[in-house]
Structure 1
Amino acid sequence: MYSEATKAALLDEATALFAERGYARTALEDVAAASQVTRGAVYHHFASKQALFEAVLDRMEQVVMREIAEKATSSDPWEAAMQALDAFLDKCCDPLYGRLVWLEGPAALGWSRWRTCEEKYAYPMVETMIMALVQAGYVADKALQSLIKFSFWMLGGAGLALAEAPDDERRRIRDEWGYLIRKSISGFQVRPAVPRDRQGRADP
């Protein structure tokens, strides 16, 4: 129990320090001092600073993907996908998430490793959403794997744009990316979505 508590504390402090100072300017000694443990205790749980950062990223993505899934409550696949999109864009407006995932992630892990980490969490959710749209007849079963990748990288573009955006511009940019992604996905529709009320019920 003590070991798990120490690991959780290390992840908490590392998250705060990586977000505040950036990966390059954060040392394992800084994390150890903030967590009130020795450097040896850090190495007991994480083999390197990169391994610690990857653990921070993994934990953050698990939480975020769960939150997005919880927001996609509609029984209608199209509406659920739009709810998930809104939840994702809202999360990307969070400076902590934006900096760690979209700015520090590629620098800390390298492009290839960072992309693998993102595909581990976000890609399966995108794939599930697109497959549900196909099965419901909203989207044609055509160039399916490319459509999934296309959608995945559109979301990645939005995430990076929001992470780089000034605070006073972030809401506008969020809405613009939401509009563009909706227009893009709507272009693949083969039947219109059913209008829904605020409770997710089909309007008569």
Structure 2
Amino acid sequence: MGYEFDFTAVLQAWPLFLAGAWLTVQLSFPATVVGFGLGTLLAMGRRSPANWLRKACGAYVEVIRNTPLLVQVFLVFFGLASLGWKVSAFAAALVSLIINVAAYSCEIMRAGMDSIHKGQIEAAECLGLTRRQVYWHVILRPAMEKVYPALTSQFVLLMLATSITSQISVEELTAAAARVQSETFRPFEAYILVAGAYLLLSLLMRIGLWLFGQVAFTRRRKLGAPR
């Protein structure tokens, strides 16, 4: 059986794909920033001397990491509606992505924090640094430097995971492809195009994160550490 590719009708729907790509970016960027911040706080909580805080943060991480993102999206979208809190599909998708990536960022950052030798912390305290200064200069920044490649990969995976939000009618890239293929009856061409779009977004995101790392981690660049 032969199949003749015809991208004409699919390419004519480029405004839909462009709008879908933009919405994907709008979901990915805030989810990455807020999710990383929340994940860092959770990592600090998991290393806290307070037993109840360690257990609470640990329970959150285990629940999120051991349940599918799609189920989490449904729980937020339909769960909040059941409780009488009406939120848009976009807001529900964004909250779900933040909740999800925070759990993974937590474990990555915790691994980085645990890699900091206790002697470095003790030396900083002997120099008279405050607890906040020790956490920022001796623990957080060096920890983030060490695990930055892993964080980069996780954030790219988050961007790709935005495709799941099409299940609650968020008009991102995958939803745009589904709409185009239903109108043109060219599913193969539509999804080939959207796969290329995701590949391009992934490459651009990796380049952007690499450039951020070059600016944020000057010591890493000077030492020539592997990225």
| TM-score exceeds 0.5 | no
> What TM-score, normalized by structure 1, do the two folds share?
0.31
The structure whose residues are more often helix, as a share, is 2
Structure showing greater radius of gyration is: 2
> What TM-score, normalized by structure 2, do the two folds share?
0.29
Taking CA–CA contacts closer than 8 Å with sequence separation of 6 or more, which of the two structures ends up with the larger relative contact order?
A: 2
